[in-house]
Amino acid sequence: MKKIYIISLLFLTQFLFAQQADVDFGKYKDGDLWRITDDGVMGGLSKGDYRFSDDGVVFDGTVSLENNGGFSSYKSRFKKTDLSSYTKVIIRYRSKNYIMGFTFEMDKRWYVPYYKVSLKPTDWKWVEAEIAFSEFDRYNIGSKRPGRLTQEELKKILRVGFTSNEKRAGDFKIEIDYIKFE
């Protein structure tokens, strides 16, 4: 009987977490399974790091343009998430020095188009940005392309994340409290 209960509890837990789209870095310290990807995968020299604070997660670092570099990102693990029942994302954050991007990816291959929206610097003051999905732009290999996020694509979100959004050398810093979908 105990084995059945444990298996049922594991199944229920996996089911509940599989349906969760919101991320709370401040309250629950979500983000342990998120990863940094820098331009070093292509030979660049940019460096990013993350750490949890009392209020959220701090993603900071330095963008270098040496060796064809130019980005650092902090992204969730790959997990299929259906966001088609939502119309917007709400992100509570503060940042300085750099425009950051928030991304939706629908494919594990880096060269497949993805969607991105810009998050402006806030002079290290907390803001809650409400961003309609219609505001996301389509990108492919760092360049803006025609196209808008569709309902079908929203059903197939595999990963969300933050990325340095200016291809310029310099320091960046963003602290994220939470990401909510409505």
Give pLDDT tens digits for 60-107.
999 999 998 999 999 999 999 999 999 999 999 999 989 999 999 999
pLDDT at 30 (0 to 100): 87
Spell out, as residue ranges, where the chain has pLDDT lower than 50. 4-19
Give the model's pLDDT for residue 16: 40
**Cβ neighbour number for residue 117 with a 10 Å cutoff:** 20
Domains and their CATH numbers in the chain: 22-181 (2.60.120.430)
Burial 127-160 (b: 16+ CB within 10 A, else e): eebeeebeebbbbeeeeeeeeebeeebbebbbbb
Give the model's pLDDT for residue 5: 45
